[in-house]
Amino acid sequence: MLGYQRQSVYVVYFLLFGLSWISYWFYIPSSVFSNKRNPLNDIFVKQGFGWTFVPLLLLHLLNGKRLKQNLLRWWILALYWCLWTQPLFQRSIFHTIEHYTGSCDLKSESRSDCLQSGGTWSAFDISGHTFLLSMNVLVSIEEIRLFQHRKMESWTDVIKLVLELLVSALVFLWTLMFGVTCLYFHDFGERLVGTLLSTLIWYLVYVRFRSVFV
């Protein structure tokens, strides 16, 4: 594992363990971030994979180098994300796990029926936010390091620089919202599993089989 890769992982897990510990032992007052309907969550996080995928895809297309290998890498990342979070059949894997580990304090059998009846639904709800946000951070850092050019010889180079700055700003935003999730949402186990799942695909693609995919 390269030095910057260790640093990236250390930051992610330092935030996960550190902020989860703080949220467990200390009272965290409500804020705009504790509202799931806050603008950053609605506009950016819920569409986080697209916000990450599009500028990086444009960078690869403008760069034009090793395009097939780069597109294959992103196809694998997108498939992995869809596999866990999207309802490829009736439910996504995350929702399937929540469904079969869940129970209601009333007689309702499903989460929707339980909540509509005013009941409380308890389940192991893997954090899709920590999964997506940590994946975005780790992947973006890897990808942006492939575009470390400083020449400004054409408008294409200017567009590349703008896209790089956008990705860098998004990394800051994803890190911030990852920290918010650790403070306000899910329990530690649900956050940890989500983060481990994203770290797994990052490790396989960018570390273990780096020579194949990068």
Q: What are the residue numbers of the active site? A: 129, 186
Q: Could you tell me which residues come within 8 angstroms of residue 136 by beta carbon, excluding any fewer than 6 positions away?
A: 48, 49, 51, 52, 170, 171, 174
**CA distance linking residue 157 with residue 154, whole number of Å:** 5
Would you state the torsion angle of the CA atoms of residues 66, 69, 71, 74, taken in this order, to the nearest 10 degrees? -130
Reported in sequence order, the residue ranges of 56-156 that DSSP labels E, i.e. its strands, are 103-104, 121-122
Q: Which residues pair with 121 in a beta bridge?
A: 104
Strand 103-104 versus strand 121-122 pairing type: antiparallel
Residue holding tokens 């989460």? 111
**CA distance linking residue 206 with residue 4, whole number of Å:** 12
Q: Which residues pair with 104 in a beta bridge?
A: 121
Name the DSSP letter for residue 206. Answer: I
